[in-house]
Each structure stands twice: as structure tokens, then as C-alpha cells.
Chain A
Amino acid sequence: MPVGDLASKTIHELRHMIQAGTVSPPEIVDDLLARIDRLNDSRRIHAYLAVDPERIRRQAADLPASARAGQLYGIPITVKANICVAGEETSCASRILEGFRPPYDATVIERLRRAGAVLIPNANMDEFAFGSSTENSAFGVTRNPRAQDDRVPGGSSGGSAAAVASNMAIAALGSDTGGSIRQPASFCGVLGLKPTYGRVSRYGLVAFASSLDQIGPLAKDAEDAAMLLNVIAGHDERDSTSAPVEVPDYVAALRRPLKDVTIGLPEIPSEGLDQHVRAAVDGAIEVFRTLGVKTVPVELPNIDKAIATYYIIATAEASSNLARYDGVKYGFRAASGGSLTDMYLDTRTQGFGAEAKRRILLGTYVLSQGYYEAYYLKGMKVRTLIKQDFDDAFTACHIVLMPTAPTPAFRLKEKLDDPLQMYLSDIYTISANLAGIPALSVPCGAGPDGLPIGMQLLAAPFQESLLFQAAHAYEQATDWPSRRRNWRSGNAG
């Protein structure tokens, strides 16, 4: 088998091969590591912050017999650098957590291990998930493997998306607070799901904004995403916000015919919407119509307030969640001879990057006495209105469809000095986090330069099955695998 052949497979393909005995977990890992070795250089894609081939090989070699029955037996799963893996560096791409190795596994990691997965930790990201381009990583950018020139993979789960897109990963976990799974999935031409808030345990996910964060899969097709969600979803006693809602078999739901499904098409803010994105999404809508899906217009009257609302609530929570990084207990401590206050100031000044500082300041401001009511409290009220908008929309349709991002991947440094422009790239994804609903980004085309474009499917809480079903039907209708292979170009060589 040529090098990279196994690495290019999906979870379900590899699972069949393992079950048939034609390939072993160590062989898969070796192939993947060879691919990583070739492409992960910091001058090339750089999807991983660090890779320890020995530890990964040992995992594959030491898989317990009890894991054989697991749904992901022998399948390598890439993990974003903000999800705690016991004993592995979990830096969140921040200097302040450089060298931090948690003594415990996140709940999703426990579940992956139990399912027999081999963990590939340390996918690059924006520092603490603050960003939409992975340029805010303290340890170097990730490049979009689909682009001919130097373009961002999106963010903050840019490393996870780029790894899946470049076959340096079979599938990956990311985290999504305002679009951090879906926007990079769209930029890199892979699937990315932000599950319903409470569907997946957050225990062990280093918090950015607790009321918005969710862990979710990035995958090569809908079936893989469904397989991963099958494993990681479910109630967790260690996370009070995880929902005691039964987990259906998402894979079994996949092949249900897309009958009697209505898709709602909202009017969305079109300022800055790229014409190729619009065309690709319109094309996808046509595909659904040919599948017999009805479309109806829906209204989301408050969606234009989503970004402002988001940057109040998310930064408020972030400013509080990041207070613990103070040099006292773990991670980075500045060499500071002065007082306790000096130690705090020096540690945080040197340990956090510019975007982290910007958000801590913003969040501290909106929670301050005299501003709380005007910002945070008002933000919470608008959040309720946005949630209400979706509740209303879902009385008229099953799925809402809109672009994932207003543009395809932009150039490195293009928006780095303009935070507001950067924030606008999440304009279509943020509402799902505010409303707590599931949203899936599905590749639906490419611009003239071959850059992938994604559409976003949103559903009512806990209706992930419906999203997978729609994505799968779309894949079947559009000769999906051959298209996926056509994209293998650019930085991925």
C-alpha cells in the first residue's frame, strides 16, 4: 500500500479493514505518522504543536483486548490542544500553559479510550480558542492544506481541521464557542459539528466561555462524524451542564431517507458575503430540492445582534475563566523579584498573547460595576431573543440552512491587525452557540481558486441525527468521495 493511503481513509473504512483483518492498528498509526512527519513541519501545514511518535505507537501496540469491541478500535483520533489528555502537554497554544500536563483525562478522552481509539494529541489552535484563523497560536501558525498560497485554515480548531483535510488525521475533536469547529471545517473542506449545548461533556475542556463551549467532531464525511459523536455524547455527572438526554445511534439514523424534511432559509446579513459562497450554498439548496426537500423562508430577526452579544458574553466568561492562570500553581511563572502583584502582572503580561489580553480586558470591563447592566445583562437578554428566534423558526422547518462563513479561507495576516474584520468571519456561526442548538458545516463547493466552501445546517436542540441525515443525503447525491479526492492539492502536496 502506498504511504498515506491508510491515512486518507475514513473511520468507517478503516473499521471494516480492521474487522476483516486486512490492516492492524499499528500499521494505521505508522502510515499516519509518516504523513505527519512529511507535512507537519512549521514551514508547511503545522497542524500539530508537537507529536511524540513513540507514545502514539505504544498506544496502538498496547490496545487492550477489551477495547476490541469498541466502536473506534485502533482508529487514531486527533485531539485539539485544549482538551485534557492525562500526561500529555495541554497548552491551549498558550505560553502561560506551556509544559502543563494534566493529571487527568477529559470525559471525552475517557470515552475515546474506552472505545479503543488511539489518541493523537496537541492539534494547533488559536490561543485558548480565541480566534478564527489559528494565527493566535503562541507556537506558530497552521496553513490551509487546500490552498495554493499561504492561507489560514480557519480557527480556532484550525489544527484539527487542517489535519483531517491533509490526511494527517483520520478524524479529530475540536471545540466550538462561536464557530471554532464549523468555520475551519468550512475553510478546509471537511465536516464539523457543534453539538447541542449539553450534548457532550465539557469536563476536561479548558474553558473559554463556559455557557457556549462544546466539543465536537471534525471528519471526512457524515458517517465518521456520527461515529465520533456516538462515542463522545452523553450525560456526565462531572458536568452539571451536560444533559441527561438519551443518545440515539447517530450512525443508524444516517441512512434514513430525507423525506418530509423542510429546510428553512433565513434572510441573513449579506454584507461581506462572498459571491462564490452564495453561489455554492444556492447550489446546495438546489440539490436538497431535487431530493424532495421543501424549502420555506424563515426569519431570524435578531441575528444581526449576534456578534455584539457574543463578544460581551464570551469575553465576560473568558475573563473569569482565565483568572486562574496566575503563575501560582502550574504553567508559566515570570521570573519576578517583586511583590505578589508584580508576579501576577509579569506572569500574565508575558504569558498571554495579544488577543487573550484583548478579551480579558473586554470581559473585565463588561462585568465591572456600573457596566454590568448595560452590557452583560443586556447581552443575556438579547441571547434569549436569539434563542427565541430559532425556537420560532423550528416551528416552521426542521433544518435551517445558511453559509458557514461569509468567505472562503483568507490569507495569512490578512485580518490579523483588524480584530473586528476577524470577528465578522464568525457572523453566521455564533448564533448557534448563543441559542445552544446543534450546527453542522458540510463542504458544498469551492471557489474558482479551489478553496473549499461550507454550508451550515442547524437544527433544534438534540436533533443532531437530522443534521447527519441531511449531510449524508447530500453526500450521496453529489458523488462525494470523488470530490473529496479532487481537493487533495495545495499545501498538502
Chain B
Amino acid sequence: MSYEPVIGLEVHLQLSTSTKLFCGCLAKYGAAPNSQTCPVCLGLPGVLPVLNERVMEWGIRVALAVDCQIAQTMKFDRKQYFYPDLPKNYQISQYDRPLAQRGHLDIVADHAPKRIGITRIHLEEDAGKLLHEASQTESYVDFNRTGVPLLEIVSEPDLRSPEEAYQYLIELKAIIEYLAVSTCNMEEGSLRCDTNVSLRRPGASQFGAKVEVKNLNSFKAVKQALAYEIQRQAVALDQGQRIRQETRLWDARALRTEPMRSKEGAADYRYFPEPDLVPFVIDRALIARMKATLPELPAERRRRYQDAYQLSAYDAQVLTQHAALGELFEGALRCGAPPKPAANWIMGDYLAHLNAKNREPESEKLRPEWLAHLIQLVDDGTISGKMAKDLFVQTLERGEDPRRLVEEGGLKQIVDAAALEPIADEVLRKNQRSVEDYLKGKTTAFTHLMGQAMKLSKGKANPQQMAALLKRKLEQVPS
């Protein structure tokens, strides 16, 4: 039987403000355990939270970027549960009056544009981290992460396939990167994602029982886990079973979901308004200021690339997925590179390099003018296309301007006829057999001679010139 998957996503985003949500502690990742704590984030008796307004501003920027309505007044609530990584045993979050609601995000999946609703965006504090490895008998708590600002972005159940969910995440991540409010690093936990999925018969108006899937450590895992869950639920439904509303964990090694060990009864978080923080009236002027200073977002940039540079929809899509790629592209253009070759270099050799090294574009130190110089070196015939590929790798590895590399390493092509002559002569002298084959009409012999010539010149000979020179000399050989 066929079913329609109904998918919703909850994304938790750590905002990379320099300090925490409710105290002045640094929020840097990777510091020594408990070195970034104070009485407030440790929840000592008598302390009080004070909102870091920068967090609210950044939250507003994200909300505006996905066309959300910003609340007139937002408030905080306590979400209560006992866990050792939560020093107050409640988390300050937002329940019924979040920062923003009712937005949307546009994706393209299976070549069709689709608008995905965003239910709400709210602020909350992160919890600490339990460390179990240090001892067999004891667990330790690192409170550095406690109070780091989180933005929770909840989508409507508008997604209908794992691919749509994947595209939603890619687009959301691109937007966040453009806004530069989070590092979006799933390994370090600065971006976390949970998903809800249920199945229903096509055309049905009611939703099926939904299953929440957690422990998704990459976008790929989201896609895989959803595909698995959809399959699992479909098989169960086909067998006449009912789907249990539950939380399941993705096992990335076994590639399957497992039910989470259920706690006694349903969790009752006993939300109530945080009495230590008064409701915040959000200044309309602040929103206007945030709106006016929003950077160009991926969708706008895509349109511009297609219109201004005649790039294909696909090229524009690839170049705008990371803010850094677009910046590299446009930087190269400003340095005189023509659009299409610049796009090709980035989408081809550059992305391949990043993938091979498993690096993010932000972490790479390729300067736009270097890319422009490289393209220019090929265009003016200084180096061959093949040399350019090697030179590009060297540029990345050594972090140097290709122009300088060419000059320093004598990589410049030999276009000087006087310099090419002795090379050609030597090749002909040392490869009598090929010369004879060629003269007998075996044209493949020429390829061999050409290869030898390039080798002897250490790849520096201008191939067109060398070919012409070799042919001229072969014609002169007395037969």
C-alpha cells in the first residue's frame, strides 16, 4: 500500500554570541571543563538570569530571514525536569509566547519549488555535558555549555520526503551561515536536529501517529533515518499494526532506529512563566534596524547570479549553498575573472578539494584574487590548462598567489622559440624509432614524441607551440 510521509523538523541552533544567554560567561567551544562558568550559570542559590540582548537581536535576524512574525512581547518559561547536566533542574525556555512565529522557507526538491512553513522560533538555554569516560564508577559534569544560547526552529509538518527534509536543512543552514550567527557545526553540536515523521494514506486529512527521531548527527543521517522510519512504519501498517507514538534513536552504525528507553509515564515539564525575567516588549525600531541590516540571503543571491552572470540554476544553487563560496566567486569577479570559468573552478576543483580534505569553505584560505590570477594565467597562455590544475592544488596547499608560484618555481610556460628548439631537437634525436614510425604514416607516434617533449620541459613547454615546432622539424627530416 502507498503512504504519504508527513515530516516536521526541529532544529536547535547554538548562537555564537561571545557570551551566554543569561550571564557574562564566555560561550566558546572546547574550553577546559567548567572554566567558563559563574554563579549564575551554575545555578547557585540566590542568582538571577539577565537576558543577553545580543542573543535576542540575533534571534530576530534569523526570524526575519525566514519571514517570521516577531512577537510584540515575548516571555520566558521554565521547563522542569531533573537531570545532572541541568544545574537548576529547569531550563529557561519559551513556551506560549516565543520570539517569533509563522514564517516559511523555500526549497527546491525534485526540481520543483516548495514553500515549507515555520511554526515558531524560540530562545532557550543549553544544558551542560555529562562525562562518563573518566571513571568506571563516577560521572562528571562540564557546565561550560550550560546557558549557551540556543535558537529552536520548528517547521510545520509540510515536508513529504527525506529529500525535502534534506533540502530544508541545507537551505536553513545556508541562511544561518549568511547571517553569521552560528557555526552550524553538527559534530560540535552547534546545530542539532530532531525530526517527527508519520504516515497517512494519500489524500487523508488526518495525521498518523507520529514518531520522534533523535540522535541525528549529520544531514545525511536525517535523510537515512527518515527513509528507514518511513519504510519501517509502512511495513508495520501493511501488517495491520498500529504505530506507537514514541521517541526513537537513530543508530548510525546499524542504520536503524531503536525505541528510546521510555521513562515512566509521559514527561510533564510543568511549564510556567519564568518569574525572574519580566516579559520583553520587542522594540519595533530594533526590528526595523535588524531588517535593514540583513545581508543578501541565498535565494536573492541565486536570482542575482542567474540574472547578472547568466549562470544556470544549478550553478547558482551550488555557489550559494555556502556564503563563503559566493564570496569567493564574487571576489574573483571583482579581480577581473570572467564568471563562467570562476564558477567552474569553484564548483569543480575547489569543491572536490574540500570534499577530499573534508573541510568547510570557511576554513579554507583561498583568496579570491588568487583564483582570478590562476584563470588569467591560463587565459594569457602563461600556463596550460593541465598545469593550472596542479598549480591550483599548490596554491591551496602552500597558501600562495599562483602568480608568485609560477615566477618562483619557473613554472611559466616556455613560449620562447629559442628555448623550445633544443628540447625538440633532443626529443627527435633520442626517439629515432618514433620518428620513423611517424614518417611511415603512424600518427600515434606523434603523441609519444609530444609526451616526451613535455616531459623533458618539465611540463612547461607551451603545448601548441611545441606541437607546431615538432611537426615543422619532422617535415624537414630527410626521408
Contact = CB atoms under 8 A, between A and B. Distances in A.
A352 interface: no
Contacts of A241: 48, 275-278
Name the interface size band of chain A. 35 or more
Interface stretch (B76-84, B305-313, B387-395, B458-466): B76-84
A102 B272 contact: no
Contact of B39 (A97, A103, A207, A328): A103
Contacts of A203: 46-48
Contact of A367 (B46, B87, B88, B272): B272
A369 B79 CA distance: 12
Contacts of A320: 78, 80, 90, 270, 272
B381 interface: no
B48 A202 contact: yes
Interface in A88-108: 90, 92, 97, 100, 102-104, 106
A237 B84 contact: no
Given A211-B275, A368-B268, A328 B141 contact: yes
Name the interface size band of chain B. 20 to 34
B80 to A, nearest CB: 6
Contact of B84 (A206, A340, A364, A367): A340
Interface string A52-68: 00000000000000000
Contact of A329 (B46, B80, B87, B278): B87
Nearest to A241: B278
Contacts of B270: 320, 364, 367-369, 372
B48 A206 contact: no
B186 interface: no
Interface of B is mostly: loop
A203 B46 CA distance: 6
Interface in B64-87: 78, 80, 82, 84, 87
Contacts of B47: 203-204
B276 A210 contact: yes
A344 interface: yes
A84 B45 CA distance: 8
B46 A102 contact: yes
A376 interface: yes
B209 interface: no
Nearest to B50: A240
Contacts of A255: none
Contacts of B45: 84, 90, 92, 97, 100, 102, 206-207, 324
Contact of A205 (B46, B78, B275): B46
A372 B39 CA distance: 31
B36 to A, nearest CB: 16
A83 B48 CA distance: 13
A317 B275 contact: yes
A92 B46 CA distance: 11
B187 to A, nearest CB: 27
Nearest to B267: A369
A323 B46 contact: no
B276 A206 contact: no
Interface of B: 39, 42-51, 78, 80, 82, 84, 87-90, 141, 268, 270-272, 275-278
Given A202-B46, A367-B270, 15 more contacts: A104-B44, A202-B48, A203-B46, A207-B45, A207-B46, A210-B275, A239-B50, A240-B51, A317-B272, A323-B80, A323-B89, A324-B88, A326-B89, A329-B42, A367-B272
7 contacts: A92-B45, A102-B39, A329-B42, A330-B44, A344-B82, A367-B271, A369-B270
